[in-house]
Structure 1
Amino acid sequence: MELTFLDWIVFILVLAISFASAWFYAGIKRKNDPKYAYFPWAVLIKLVGGALFTATFFYLYKVGDTFLYFGGSETLSRYFWENPQLYFEALFSGSEETLKLIPGIVYEIPYARTEEEWFMVRILSVFQIISFNNYLLMIFWTSLFSFIGSWKIFEVFNSWFNNVTKTAFIASFLIPTVIFWSSGIIKDSLVFGMIGLAFHSFYKLFIQPDRKYVLHSFLLLFSLWITFNLKSYIVISLVPPLFFALYLQMKNQLTNPFMKRLAGPAMLVVFGVFLSLLVNVLIESSKKYQLDNLEKQARGFHTWHVTTGGSAYTLGEIEYSATGVLSKVPAALNVTFFRPYPWEIRNATMALAAVESIILLILFLYFLFYRGIKSIRFALNDPLFGFTIMFCFILGFRCRIYILQFWSTSSL
């Protein structure tokens, strides 16, 4: 697969048109809503991130899941033109059904044999049709998809934290590794978009309701369904923080101090029981994350990742039991937020992650020593701050205990 000079010219033209359209739209909206002054720059950042992702994988790495996803979705999209009925049957069929429906498709599309990857291929096949099988035009659509999620996160932060628009914009759009990893033809881009949509819908349903209950309920369930089919562990990691945020919101709405002290623990127990049942249902719904498969999956990941050169790390000897895995929580979170260290840099993406890790370490030390107890109290009382901290911890631990590669540190 190659990119021509004409491909880049077309992409730059599309980028320019998109930026101009966003600028025009923002000019109308910002009269009543100042945050839209950031809208065109947000669009530009996402599209530039997609271009950087493309250049890195085409001219530096030259291999990766992105090429398998593009090739697989391109092959599937051909059925739309050659046999529309068969295409739509495959589009709405799982991996096992498709292997029976189109014998031999696994030789054309290797990802047809696994459910999550096949789901991604099916979604991308729709993008292929409107992108005329052009990689950079596909990048445009995946970047735009991710932009929706980032903008929704920006809207929530800006609304909840007293219109701190500039800070909310930085947190939502200007984290370097997020710019890079959430704009390419990979699952992370679609998942990032869906997480943002789910977060915003949850906020509008339970934290600051705006009476569009049917719309937000649909968007919340739809975005969680898409995410679950792409990366089920994300939803399993997302549900507990959402329940924690809902618990804090309901507790904060109690004005009587006695009732708050009395009802708080009771609500926590009820939420805890319901949450435990829900998480168990989610785990059982995903064969990949059932308990009897976890050890086998973790061992497989570790064996493969430590043999991959250049960016592997180790958490030390791991005992594959509940206590053994939990004992690695500190080391796993350290990798997620504070590594790679400068002396561990092996390539450009690791250098980017290292700079980001240093900044996170400085911020962490600032809050630890200068805000201390206040930060903890804030996390235990503010629904969104509590949600953010818990989600980062759960997801960060899950990713690091399975994936022993620094290149995955900033991707989902």
Structure 2
Amino acid sequence: MDLKDLFLAPLYLALFYGIAFAARRNYTNSYTRKYFILALSLKFIGAIALGLIYQFYYGGGDTFNYHHHIKIFYEAFGQDFSLGLKLYLANGQPVPELTRYTSQMFWWQPHSTELFVVRMAVPLAFLCFNTYTVIALSFAFISFCGMWAMYITFIRIYPVAYKQFAIAIFFLPSVFFWGSGLMKDSLCIGALGWTFYGFYHVFIAKRNITQAGILGCIGIYILVSAKIYILLSFMPPALFWIFNENSTRIKSASLRLFLKPFLILAGAGAAYYGATNLTAGDERFDVEKIGERSKITQEYLSQYVASGSAYNIGQLDGSLGSIIQVAPKAVFISLFRPFLFEARNPVMLLSAIEAAVFLYLTLSLFYRTGLSKGFILIAAEPILTFCLIFSIIMAIGVGTTSGNFGTLVRYKIPLMPFFLSALYIMRFKAQAARSPKQQKNRVTA
């Protein structure tokens, strides 16, 4: 960051707020309007805070590495536009005449997810004179748009919990801190929101199909290009959700009971087919090699961070069987750790507080409903089934590959809004089951 950031950031903030206030009336109602600007402001605060912490606390890091690469593209276009365009379109491929630029980029390689983020940011750099803070604010704004799509989707499914969904999606400190700045995580959590919006409106609500389809495809493209494991975690429960939702719309109870096992098998089969074929032939994410990749990644990250934040997930030998064995531990670590006494710095302390809240809400909910009734409640509500399966699949993935809480805090933010939203829905459902009056209020809402 330099003096240019101090002068330009306020101007662009005013521009972003002007766009937001103009758009608010089209994307809010009387209940959600008060959260729109507040949630956007938290995203902006998160973007600026992340840059400041990386600069003055960590002394550098990924966010400035992204900007380093963006600067090289920016300079290439300034020196020779045609050469800059060739550099932009090369996308990690070795081109001899570009060596003077590519030799400065340690992320210059084919299929680099980091390079994809850089290429997404390059057009933004031209709109703001390559100012780091403005690019970060732009990422926060883009991310907010996707997360607002996630928010209004949850509200359309369960409108009575609009306050709780706002907390789950916008007000978790880890989510708006790690998911707001010039980082891959910001793009991905926004893309996840568009993907969720698209799946629901196209396949379940069957409303706004064209708009939802376009947004959903944009979200899927970003996830495939940046963090495909998020999409791999999303697809199986999403496809299962579609079949499960359609089974609940069969009016005949006897026919629904008869067809449900077939619909479940069809949904599970479609989910498995989608997950395996999406990554077939990809050396990085092929399902058949996921155990081996998890072992390599977990060992690397555990050794890379020696600050006392590492955790032991158990023995991984590179097979899917070993992942299955450590899966329960991985889920617990991802959702409910670090504990408060394991926090080693302020950022980890925020994550520990969130994990403690998640643990308290989960235990108190199942204590009130009972374990068996709690699972019956989940099985009876398709959106609950989707949210919890997605959260569990992703928790297994990030829990087995992270190896330390420093990376886990970042990797798990996509699952956090869905898990907490599921807990809030379960609480409302449990209360409504005990209170006929409350059930009537939900129907009228």
Aligned counterparts of 2:97 and 2:333: Cα–Cα separation in 1: 43
| Number of the residue aligned with 1:80 | 77
The reply to whether residue 256 of structure 1 matches residue 252 of structure 2 is yes
**For residues 346-380 of structure 1, what are the alpha-carbon distances to aligned partners after superposition, in whole Å with 9 as ceiling and x for unaligned?**
11111111111110010010122112334322322
Q: Is the Cα contact below 8 Å between 2:239 and 2:270 reproduced in 1?
A: no
The reply to whether residue 346 of structure 1 matches residue 323 of structure 2 is no
Aligned counterparts of 1:387 and 1:140: Cα–Cα separation in 2: 32
Which one of the candidate residues 307, 311, 315 is aligned to 1:313? 311
Unaligned regions of 5+ residues in structure 2, if any?
Answer: 412-445
Which one of the candidate residues 33, 45, 53 is aligned to 1:48? 45
How far the C-alpha of 1:31 sits from its partner, in A, is 9.0
TM (normalized to structure 1)?
Answer: 0.92
Secondary structure of the corresponding residue to residue 107 of structure 2: helix
Letter in 2 for 1:297: R
How far the C-alpha of 1:298 sits from its partner, in A, is 3.0
The reply to whether residue 38 of structure 1 matches residue 35 of structure 2 is yes
How far the C-alpha of 1:92 sits from its partner, in A, is 3.7
Letter in 2 for 1:344: E
Aligned counterparts of 1:322 and 1:299: Cα–Cα separation in 2: 10
Distance 1:171 1:83, change over 3 A: same
Letter in 2 for 1:242: A
How far the C-alpha of 1:253 sits from its partner, in A, is 0.7
How far the C-alpha of 1:313 sits from its partner, in A, is 1.4
Letter in 1 for 2:127: I
How far the C-alpha of 1:59 sits from its partner, in A, is 0.8
Secondary structure of the corresponding residue to residue 386 of structure 1: helix
Q: Is the Cα contact below 8 Å between 2:237 and 2:271 reproduced in 1?
A: no
Secondary structure of the corresponding residue to residue 132 of structure 1: coil
| Number of the residue aligned with 2:399 | 400
- Cα RMSD over matched residues? 2.2
Aligned counterparts of 1:227 and 1:326: Cα–Cα separation in 2: 25
Unaligned regions of 5+ residues in structure 1, if any?
Answer: none
Letter in 1 for 2:244: L
Mapping of residues 162-241 of structure 1, within 5 Å: 162-210=159-207, 212-241=208-237
How far the C-alpha of 1:100 sits from its partner, in A, is 5.7
How far the C-alpha of 1:330 sits from its partner, in A, is 1.3
Q: Is the Cα contact below 8 Å between 2:16 and 2:141 reproduced in 1?
A: no
Which one of the candidate residues 201, 219, 240 is aligned to 1:244? 240
**For residues 188-236 of structure 1, what are the alpha-carbon distances to aligned partners after superposition, in whole Å with 9 as ceiling and x for unaligned?**
00011110011111111122222x3233223222210211110111111
Which one of the candidate residues 37, 55, 58 is aligned to 1:58? 55
Aligned counterparts of 2:15 and 2:121: Cα–Cα separation in 1: 23
Dislocated runs of 4+, deviation >4 Å: 28-33, 98-101
Distance 1:12 1:282, change over 3 A: same
The reply to whether residue 151 of structure 1 matches residue 153 of structure 2 is no
Distance 1:14 1:126, change over 3 A: closer
| Number of the residue aligned with 1:381 | 380
How far the C-alpha of 1:82 sits from its partner, in A, is 3.0
The reply to whether residue 123 of structure 1 matches residue 120 of structure 2 is yes
- How many residue pairs get aligned? The number is 407
| Number of the residue aligned with 1:278 | 274
How far the C-alpha of 1:20 sits from its partner, in A, is 5.7
Aligned counterparts of 2:50 and 2:171: Cα–Cα separation in 1: 15
Which one of the candidate residues 358, 361, 369 is aligned to 2:359? 361
Secondary structure of the corresponding residue to residue 102 of structure 1: helix
Aligned counterparts of 2:281 and 2:81: Cα–Cα separation in 1: 31
TM (normalized to structure 2)?
Answer: 0.85
Q: Is the Cα contact below 8 Å between 1:176 and 1:352 reproduced in 2?
A: yes
Q: Which moved more, 1:112-121 or 1:395-404?
A: 112-121
Q: Is the Cα contact below 8 Å between 2:70 and 2:122 reproduced in 1?
A: yes
Q: Is the Cα contact below 8 Å between 1:335 and 1:409 reproduced in 2?
A: no
Distance 1:209 1:72, change over 3 A: same
Distance 1:285 1:132, change over 3 A: farther
Q: Is the Cα contact below 8 Å between 2:241 and 2:382 reproduced in 1?
A: yes
Aligned counterparts of 2:160 and 2:287: Cα–Cα separation in 1: 43
Aligned counterparts of 2:225 and 2:187: Cα–Cα separation in 1: 11
| Number of the residue aligned with 1:103 | 99
Distance 1:266 1:299, change over 3 A: closer
Aligned counterparts of 1:268 and 1:285: Cα–Cα separation in 2: 28
Aligned counterparts of 1:133 and 1:20: Cα–Cα separation in 2: 22
**For residues 161-207 of structure 1, what are the alpha-carbon distances to aligned partners after superposition, in whole Å with 9 as ceiling and x for unaligned?**
12422112111100110011101111100011110011111111122
| Number of the residue aligned with 2:431 | none
Aligned counterparts of 1:163 and 1:14: Cα–Cα separation in 2: 35
Identity among equivalent positions (%) equals 22
**For residues 34-90 of structure 1, what are the alpha-carbon distances to aligned partners after superposition, in whole Å with 9 as ceiling and x for unaligned?**
422321112111101111111111110122211111111221233333333343344
The reply to whether residue 268 of structure 1 matches residue 267 of structure 2 is no
